[in-house]
Chains A and B, each alone.
Chain A
Amino acid sequence: MLVQKHFESDRFIPDKEMDACGLFGVMNTKGEKFGGSMAINAIKNMKVRGSGLGGGFAIYGLYPEYKEYYALHIMYQNKNLDAKRRVEAFLKEHFYVVYDEEIPTNPDVALFFPPIVWRYYVAPQKKSEDQAIPDDEYVVTRVMYLNTNVDDAYVFSSGKDVGVFKGVGFPEEIADYFMLDKLYQGYIWTVHSRFPTNTPGWWGGAHPFNILDWTVVHNGEISSYGTNRRYLEMHNYYCTLHTDTEVLAYAVDLLMRRQNLPIEIVSKIFAPPMWDAIEQMNENDKKLFTALRMTYAPLLMNGPFTVIIAHHNEMIGLTDRIRLRPITAGAKGDFVFLSSEEASIRAVCPDLEIAWTPPGGEPVVVRMNSQDHLLSVKKSI
């Protein structure tokens, strides 16, 4: 499906990047849209978790007037107009571009080498041989092609009615730069502040990471990266960014979008219960969990992580199986919050009704028009 970059030996695959981070997400479970101030202020409250080398936002419900179209946010590094020409020629060949424009930015905010960022609303233009390919698959393949084949071009996001804004800087600077608080509204906002430990930031490497309408923000270091990456390669996902987040995003895409497994199951693949616990389960569960661990052993995400995964109508928070990087959840009315720290939730919602810390491997699933997120309260610590 995706494009492979061929390495003669695993030895030449670049080292993965390491980072530590802060993350935050807020969703309105009635689908009512709101501005960016909560997300921006919450992440500001966790300033020490970032280093100004990467920040970004994902917003759902962003483009209601174009919600039938894939919204591509594409950045051109080094203001490389040749890359833009190549990308646009490619888009013209493979898509119908119904509208495109430069994403407006605030000229008063000075950031580190900002790229040109453009958005295109597109619909697939399939050749006869592509007719059988589902639209989503078609788009993913084209996006991967652009990311691996056009130097200096990188697709930030490619979903419908969703968009990612990210770059090198503190997240509040990125928000200012793209004027998120002024221009946009959404019913889910996730945000990420990055603290890379081994690489200077580049705009494409910031989070959230996106495929179609799926976005992932992540904090942690996955010690099983090599195992995970190799398994995903077998399913034609080639990691081009060499970050843990990318591995998580592809695993989410494989399991949730392509294999159609619900997050309740997927969370048990990423952060499975211990064998000792499985031994104690009833026959049905023992069989299920044994099969899950056996089959998806290469997708166990080992090592500390917190992740917020979102797609339309759903926002999920999950932490690793032994809760080395906890996540905190909170709720008030129709608003549900997920955050690296409780303090940042309280900073933007002082009259919180409930706050809780789920145990390792127990997902907090925030669903549209449901109270499913409260299921994890009982098990909380």
Chain B
Amino acid sequence: MYSYLLPEFTIERSEDKCIRCRVCERQCANKVHEYDEDLNKIFSSNELCVGCQRCVALCPTNALYVHPRVYDYRPNSSWTRDKVQNLKKQAETGGVILTGSGNDKPYRIYWDHLVLNASQVTNPSIDPLREPMELKTFLGRKPDTLEITFEEGKASLKSQLNPNVPIKTPLVFSAMSYGAISYQAYKSLAMAAKEFGTLFNTGEGGLPEHMREEFGGNAIVQCASGRFGVDSDYLNSAQIIEIKIGQGAKPGIGGHLPGEKVSANIAETRMIPMGTDALSPAPQHDIYSIEDLSMLIYALKEATNYEKPVSVKIAAVHNVAAIASGIVRAGADIVAIDGIRGGTGAAPLATRDNVGIPMELALAAVDKRLREEGIRHKCSVLAAGGIRCSADAIKAIALGADAVYIGTAALVAMGCTLCHKCYTGKCNWGICTQDPFLTKRLNPEITSQKLVNLLKGWSHEIQEMLGGMGINAIESLRGNREHLRGVGLEEWELNVLGVKGAGE
């Protein structure tokens, strides 16, 4: 334990309410609470608490109150508490400060500065409870034109189409690997995607063999730098194959699943020996250029008989538009862009908080570039990183996304409280851990329903907002920036977003 570090949270227990049931003690994997039999009293070690609120939520008498401890040092706008505390930690270890989840720094969240349009007078709004309101979306490459033949006045399709995957709602679960998250959490995502008719993403941890038949039809499988779990059967079991180049939470760096987490099942799924560290290199070592990427794209297409769209996921970095255009020209059918607020199981804090650009700007730039080059229809664009609610999702679509990836929002639906300690393996909510005592807290039957509810609720909200704009099919909003206006944005930001200011 670090010396001289101040606790980040304060735990208050109403002694008169506490019934000494010891639930809190059992629930906290950080061993904050401890029961003293002699005194018949629960003691808490504040310095161990990460503020995950598990004990608070489960205390049967509401005796607990865990809240962030105020800034105890002399107030200082430059030397904030986390800067000071991190320095102290580093002074003791010389290590890299790790963190989990997504960037919590106050970069501008553009979603909160964009407002949507609605119909008044000149065109009618449409009530989604009375009229069809279509959210069906296709992911993949679209042709320039269709060839249609007529026989006795009957039209038939002659063109051969590139593979496209239909989803019932433009919401897709983003990449979270088995290993980074628990089997229960992973399976919940798969079950929810299947039930609702959308997709989940296996991340780079493989897809357990016994799940392939049942959930392959709703899976995006990743082929990442570590190539964990990749074989022909894995690729062919899925709907979409995604080459992971980068991740919004940690652009430019790889991943590291510590050996302690590599249990027998994970080892089998990832195709590595049990207990060994699973190291994902920073780059894919067979991709040092766009030509190399093209070769991998076509290798994967060959391996799957050109029956599956291939996606390439990149972190939103400075020249993301040019990169995306190269990716489409290299043959990708889908481009996924992960912004600076994207989540992770573990990343160096310095990288997570400082590398990359906001997804909203990246998305607008990519959509514009692809249109200018006349290749926007040759790929679908998936936007990821910091989509918190249906309004964010619909704004992303108006900015040009075909669909959005939701990661953190799905975790929150499963119980996550954003304590940012995913990398410790002690997730009290059973999501980001492999400890069977913790993972059994998630019951996929129940958790998957929460995820289905999330998809359902968001979809309804998207339908309401679409109807308000007088639009009854989601494709008519895609890239339709006329339906967005900016509030409180600088001139250059409006220009990059390609959106007029409110009242303009």
Residues of A with Cβ closer than 8 Å to B?
Answer: 8-11, 15-16, 18, 20, 197, 220-221, 223-227, 230-231, 233-235, 259, 261-262, 264-265, 272, 274-276, 284, 287-288, 291-298, 300, 302-304, 321-322, 324
Contacts and interface: CB of A to CB of B under 8 A. Distances in A.
Interface of B: 119, 121-124, 126, 131-132, 134, 136, 138, 142-143, 145-146, 148, 150, 154-157, 159, 161, 164, 368, 371, 374-377, 469-473, 475-483, 494-500, 504
A132 B375 CA distance: 25
B122 A288 contact: no
B145 A9 contact: no
Nearest to B135: A275
B345 to A, nearest CB: 35
A10 B123 contact: no
Given A265-B148, A274-B132, A302-B470, A294 B480 contact: no
Given A297-B475, A302-B470, A234 B119 contact: no
A270 B254 CA distance: 46
A256 to B, nearest CB: 12
A234 B376 contact: yes
A304 B499 CA distance: 24
A274 B134 contact: yes
A234 B375 CA distance: 8
Contacts of A295: 142-143, 145-146, 161, 377
A298 B144 CA distance: 12
A19 B478 CA distance: 23
A220 B156 CA distance: 31
Contacts of A291: 146, 157, 159, 161
Given A11-B495, A223-B119, A298-B478, 10 more contacts: A221-B470, A230-B479, A234-B375, A264-B155, A287-B157, A288-B156, A293-B475, A297-B142, A298-B377, A304-B470
Contacts of B495: 8-9, 11
Contacts of A9: 494-496, 498
Task: Specify which of A15, A197, A226, A296 lies most central, judged by the most chain B CB atoms within 10 Å of its CB.
Answer: A226
A10 B481 contact: yes
Given A274-B132, A324-B124, A224 B476 contact: yes
Contacts, number: 135
Contacts of A220: 123
A220 B471 CA distance: 13
Nearest to A10: B498
Contacts of B136: 275
B131 A225 contact: no
A303 B161 CA distance: 29
11 contacts: A10-B498, A11-B500, A223-B119, A230-B376, A275-B136, A284-B156, A287-B157, A292-B146, A297-B138, A297-B475, A300-B473
A110 B452 CA distance: 66
A18 B138 CA distance: 31
A329 to B, nearest CB: 20
Given A10-B498, A11-B500, A18 B480 contact: no
A10 B496 CA distance: 9
A20 B126 CA distance: 18
Contacts of B131: 322
Contacts of A324: 123-124
A251 to B, nearest CB: 13
Contacts of A297: 138, 142, 473, 475-476, 478
A261 B131 CA distance: 29
B477 A294 contact: no
A234 B161 CA distance: 20
A287 B149 CA distance: 13
A220 B123 CA distance: 7
Contacts of A275: 132, 134, 136
B114 to A, nearest CB: 13
A149 to B, nearest CB: 21
A355 to B, nearest CB: 25
Contacts of B156: 284, 287-288
Nearest to A255: B145
B132 A11 contact: no
B475 A227 contact: yes
Task: Specify which of B132, B157, B368, B477 lies most central, judged by the most chain A CB atoms within 10 Å of its CB.
Answer: B157
B155 A223 contact: no
Contacts of B479: 226-227, 230, 298
A224 B123 CA distance: 12
Contact of B377 (A231, A293, A322): A231
B68 to A, nearest CB: 40
A225 B138 CA distance: 21
A20 B477 contact: no
Contact of A234 (B132, B138, B377, B494): B377
A297 B476 CA distance: 7
Task: Specify which of A11, A265, A296 lies most central, judged by the most chain B CB atoms within 10 Å of its CB.
Answer: A11
A10 B124 CA distance: 26
A284 B159 CA distance: 13
A42 to B, nearest CB: 24
A11 B142 contact: no
A229 to B, nearest CB: 8
B133 to A, nearest CB: 10
Closest 6 CB pairs of A and B: A10-B498, A224-B476, A226-B480, A302-B476, A297-B475, A226-B482
A8 to B, nearest CB: 7
A304 B148 contact: no
Nearest to A254: B145
B374 A224 contact: no
A275 B146 CA distance: 19
Contact of B471 (A15, A16, A302): A302
A293 B136 CA distance: 10
A225 B122 CA distance: 14
A305 to B, nearest CB: 9
B371 A234 contact: yes
Contacts of B148: 261, 265, 288
Contacts of B478: 227, 297-298
A227 B484 CA distance: 12
Nearest to A9: B495
A140 B500 CA distance: 31
B122 A227 contact: no
A11 B494 contact: yes
B201 to A, nearest CB: 22
Task: Specify which of B123, B148, B154, B376 lies most central, judged by the most chain A CB atoms within 10 Å of its CB.
Answer: B123
A361 to B, nearest CB: 12
A223 B476 contact: yes
A147 B481 CA distance: 26
Contacts of B377: 231, 234, 295, 298
Contacts of B161: 291, 294-295
B142 A223 contact: no
Contact of A226 (B134, B145, B483, B497): B483
Nearest to B402: A297
Contacts of A284: 154, 156-157
B456 to A, nearest CB: 18
Contacts of B473: 272, 297, 300, 302
A11 B204 CA distance: 39
A227 B164 contact: no
Contacts of B126: 322
A259 B145 contact: yes
B12 to A, nearest CB: 51
Contacts of B469: 223
B167 to A, nearest CB: 12
A224 B471 contact: yes
A292 B80 CA distance: 57
B371 A233 contact: yes
A321 B164 CA distance: 24
